[in-house]
């Protein structure tokens, strides 16, 4: 089956990513279904829309909006699927709910957005562990002119949206919010908080 405007996606593994393995033990991090921080965001594309031209193919892995797989309780306390749910663990996902797609073991940013890795702050006079509004390009929209992977850039306030991808904390930033390209000094170090270890 093909939808006219939506992708059909299934979770790659399970709908919630709320456990962490320490040695040979499994630690449950959260049991609340409405907490978006523990909802799995990784899915597999089963079908692409008929009416949309897209670079995403059937079989690609995708990172989707946290509400796609999330369940919730209605006013009577009855557990419900999200409005994206179709049937048998399959979900309709709009184009703007897909944030990255993976092919041949490599993530790609969709048009209009890039993903930025924050860098460590060396300013001993501040409590900030990372330099605000600055980072290294990790996944770049190929249509973005004069910006490439590993470039050091600045972005406008409140334009970033936090993700954890393959254990790395990244910011998704609209291309039009990238405000400056800096010359790299060679001593920039990427910042990744310890809590991201084991996260996806």
106-154 pLDDT, tens per residue? 999 989 999 999 999 877 666 678 999 999 999 999 888 899 999 999 9
**Do 119 and 184 reside in the same domain of the chain?**
yes
Can you say whether the dihedral through the CA atoms of 192, 194, 196, 199 is positive or negative? positive
d(Cα 156, Cα 196) in Å, to the nearest integer?
24
DSSP bridge partners of 114: 173
Identify the CA nearest to 49 among candidates 97, 3, 93, 85. Answer: 3
Identify the CA nearest to 118 among candidates 106, 128, 107, 133. Answer: 133
Where residue 161 sits, what CATH number does that domain have? 2.30.33.40
**Do 69 and 87 reside in the same domain of the chain?**
yes
Does 1 map to a domain? no
Burial class (CB in 10 A: 0-12, 13-18, 19+), 57: exposed
Q: Which residues in the chain land under pLDDT 70?
A: 14-22, 25-39, 124-127, 194-200
**Do 62 and 48 reside in the same domain of the chain?**
yes
d(Cα 74, Cα 88) in Å, to the nearest integer?
21
pLDDT of residue 137: 96
Last residue of one domain, picked from the residues 107, 125, 152: 107
């Amino acid at each position: 089956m093909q939808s006219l405007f939506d992708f059909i996606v299934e979770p790659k593994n399970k709908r919630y990513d709320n456990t962490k393995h320490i040695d040979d033990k499994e630690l449950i991090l959260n049991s609340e279904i409405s907490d978006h921080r523990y909802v799995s965001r990784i899915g597999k594309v089963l079908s692409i829309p008929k009416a949309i031209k897209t670079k995403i193919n059937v079989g690609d892995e995708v990172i989707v909006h946290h509400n796609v797989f999330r369940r919730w309780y209605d006013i009577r306390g009855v557990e419900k699927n999200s409005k994206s749910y179709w049937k048998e663990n399959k979900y309709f996902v709009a184009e703007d709910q897909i944030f990255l797609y993976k092919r041949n073991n490599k993530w790609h940013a969709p048009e209009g957005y890039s993903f930025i890795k924050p860098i460590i702050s060396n300013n001993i006079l501040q409590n900030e562990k990372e330099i605000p509004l600055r980072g290294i390009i990790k996944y770049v929209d190929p249509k973005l002119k004069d910006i490439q992977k590993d470039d050091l850039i600045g972005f406008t306030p409140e334009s970033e949206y936090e993700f954890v991808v393959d254990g790395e904390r990244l910011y998704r930033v609209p291309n039009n919010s990238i405000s400056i390209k800096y010359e790299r000094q060679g001593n920039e170090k990427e910042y990744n908080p310890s809590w991201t270890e084991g996260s996806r």
